[in-house]
A and B are shown apart, each in its own frame.
Chain A
């Protein structure tokens, strides 16, 4: 589904974010990308969204050459991917309901679909009672659950979760991981970046380990080894 071929990202001589990375991710996989801060995890996943462009090498999403995409097609690609960030990246001026409705509006869903689906997905992440709260009226865990609800609402083919538990306590972390596993069980490909040992060990699926912009390990049913 996703193919990185000899991808490098060099900002300048002293700052190499990715160094000749080759990686394939197949449909339905749950891949955890682990490594210390600055290992290149976030840069790697940003390339799938064309939020970063490689200095050399190619990035393919199925048959789409991502860095070469025109603006209009880029919008279409992003609609096929749900994204969850460490800092949630919710729209601060919109309520929980409107944050999710916005993602549905973006892909052209009708008002009827929005009215029926939004309460449903909020129930799924246990936020029914916070429907009309603004993000700053919610806890970190609640905001992240809202971000996940937004990411899955359009039934994307791929979920990218970039350090989704970085700002959360143990209980909330556990909940988020369980939700991601459930999404994966339903057939959606999930890419998770993290440096949380407990998270990786509890998932027990493929683990790609990065260091200084390179992939140093790629284990099926892996553990956190650095």
Chain B
């Protein structure tokens, strides 16, 4: 316990006495954490946009006029039971007509034509939303295979707009998975570069103390007693850098929130505020672990004497 207290105290004393070197290390860790936070926010924007696009995709099954409602509802139930399906909404023929009339309110000739027919020329339809864009195809295949759909010899299904939308859905699917892959790759590369730079900065800070490490060992200090204060220093770099980064992102996200919300479709400042706790935990852990781990590895080189 005394040993631990001494190590922690020595870490703090070393940090303050190393002056500019400590602050250079803090600066580099801050840059790394800024990169990580930026990536978190960019990912949020990317996923938000992708989700919005995904939300616009659906498949509609149009039924023939006069298709019995119980058949349609039993199809709705079996669709609802599919694991890929997120939501199925049923629009009856009457509702379809009402929606049509509402939509064409100002289109007088169309309304007039509709009035002349008297009978409802529109069939009911089901609107199907899948959990993932890639799953529309299997839903479409399901509908082809389901015998419950067949009424006598004629199908009650008038048409499914999946085939018309297929090309668009496929392309969208490719773009989404491509964007996710690219995002992940860029994240990985940036994080690795930042870690390498931080690691080297801390290594340089410890290189300056290499003789000191040798002397401590000659005086009979245990490895942990020598290495401990450096690890504490590394943790201090991480903690200060986290605080600086969190503060820096307030004005930055306020500015982006004001100017970019329309373009991004997401208020970055609101997102930052509502996820502040998670972001703080992520960058605090990254900063502290990076500091401790880099110090641990860097000091090892001079310890084996």
Q: Which residues of B contact A150 (CB under 8 A)?
A: 219
Bound complex: CA A150 to CA B211 (Å) = 17
Bound complex: CA A110 to CA B3 (Å) = 10
On whether the beta carbons of A106 and B215 are closer than 8 Å, the reply is no
Closest to A80 in B: B220
Bound complex: CA A205 to CA B211 (Å) = 33
Task: Name the segment of B221-229, B277-285, B293-301 touching the other chain.
Answer: B221-229
On whether the beta carbons of B212 and A92 are closer than 8 Å, the reply is yes
Min CB distance B168 to A, Å, is 66
On whether the beta carbons of A105 and B6 are closer than 8 Å, the reply is yes
On whether the beta carbons of A93 and B17 are closer than 8 Å, the reply is yes
On whether the beta carbons of B225 and A91 are closer than 8 Å, the reply is no
On whether the beta carbons of A49 and B218 are closer than 8 Å, the reply is yes
Closest to B219 in A: A103
Q: Which residues of A contact B219 (CB under 8 A)?
A: 78, 83, 102-103, 106, 150
Interface of B (DSSP majority class): helix
Closest to A109 in B: B2
Min CB distance A110 to B, Å, is 7
Min CB distance B248 to A, Å, is 30
Residue of B3, B13, B14, B220 near A75 (CB, 8 A) is B220
When each residue 66-87 of chain A gets 1 if its CB lies under 8 Å from chain B and 0 otherwise, what string results?
A: 0000011001101100010000
On whether the beta carbons of A75 and B222 are closer than 8 Å, the reply is yes
On whether the beta carbons of B223 and A106 are closer than 8 Å, the reply is no
Q: Which residues from chain B sit less than 8 Å from chain A, CB to CB?
A: 2-3, 6, 13-14, 17-18, 209, 211-212, 214-223, 225, 304-305
On whether the beta carbons of B215 and A90 are closer than 8 Å, the reply is yes
On whether the beta carbons of B223 and A51 are closer than 8 Å, the reply is no
Bound complex: CA A89 to CA B212 (Å) = 8
On whether the beta carbons of A75 and B221 are closer than 8 Å, the reply is yes
On whether the beta carbons of B217 and A93 are closer than 8 Å, the reply is no
On whether the beta carbons of A78 and B220 are closer than 8 Å, the reply is yes
Residue of B13, B209, B211, B220 near A106 (CB, 8 A) is B220
Min CB distance A17 to B, Å, is 17
Bound complex: CA A49 to CA B222 (Å) = 15
Q: Which residues of A contact B211 (CB under 8 A)?
A: 89
Q: Which residues of B contact A93 (CB under 8 A)?
A: 13-14, 17-18, 209, 212
With A49-B218, A89-B214 known, 20 other A-B pairs at CB within 8 A are A75-B222, A75-B223, A76-B220, A78-B218, A79-B220, A83-B218, A89-B218, A90-B215, A92-B212, A93-B13, A93-B14, A93-B18, A93-B212, A102-B216, A102-B219, A102-B221, A105-B221, A105-B225, A106-B216, A106-B219
Residue of A51, A72, A92, A105 near B218 (CB, 8 A) is A51
Q: Which residues of B contact A154 (CB under 8 A)?
A: 220
Bound complex: CA A10 to CA B145 (Å) = 85
On whether the beta carbons of A91 and B212 are closer than 8 Å, the reply is yes
When each residue 164-201 of chain A gets 1 if its CB lies under 8 Å from chain B and 0 otherwise, what string results?
A: 00000000000000000000000000000000000000
Residue of A89, A103, A106, A110 near B222 (CB, 8 A) is A106
Bound complex: CA A44 to CA B159 (Å) = 96
Bound complex: CA A72 to CA B222 (Å) = 8
Interface core residue of B13, B17, B216, B218 (most chain A CB under 10 Å): B218
Min CB distance B264 to A, Å, is 48
On whether the beta carbons of B212 and A110 are closer than 8 Å, the reply is no
Closest to A160 in B: B218
Min CB distance B241 to A, Å, is 22
Bound complex: CA A25 to CA B121 (Å) = 115
Closest 3 CB pairs of A and B: A79-B220, A106-B221, A78-B220
13 example contacts (A-B, Cβ-Cβ < 8 A) are as follows A51-B218, A51-B305, A75-B217, A75-B223, A76-B220, A83-B219, A93-B17, A93-B209, A103-B220, A105-B6, A106-B220, A110-B2, A111-B2
Closest to A134 in B: B17
Closest to A153 in B: B219
A107 within 8 A of B: yes
On whether the beta carbons of B2 and A91 are closer than 8 Å, the reply is no
Bound complex: CA A105 to CA B2 (Å) = 9
Min CB distance B48 to A, Å, is 49
Bound complex: CA A89 to CA B213 (Å) = 10
On whether the beta carbons of B216 and A91 are closer than 8 Å, the reply is yes
Q: Which residues of A contact B222 (CB under 8 A)?
A: 72, 75, 106
Q: Which residues of A contact B218 (CB under 8 A)?
A: 49, 51, 78, 83, 89
Min CB distance B21 to A, Å, is 11
Min CB distance B114 to A, Å, is 89
Q: Which residues of A contact B209 (CB under 8 A)?
A: 93
Min CB distance A224 to B, Å, is 28
Min CB distance A80 to B, Å, is 8
Bound complex: CA A105 to CA B6 (Å) = 8
Min CB distance B1 to A, Å, is 12
Q: Which residues of B contact A107 (CB under 8 A)?
A: 220
Min CB distance A10 to B, Å, is 20
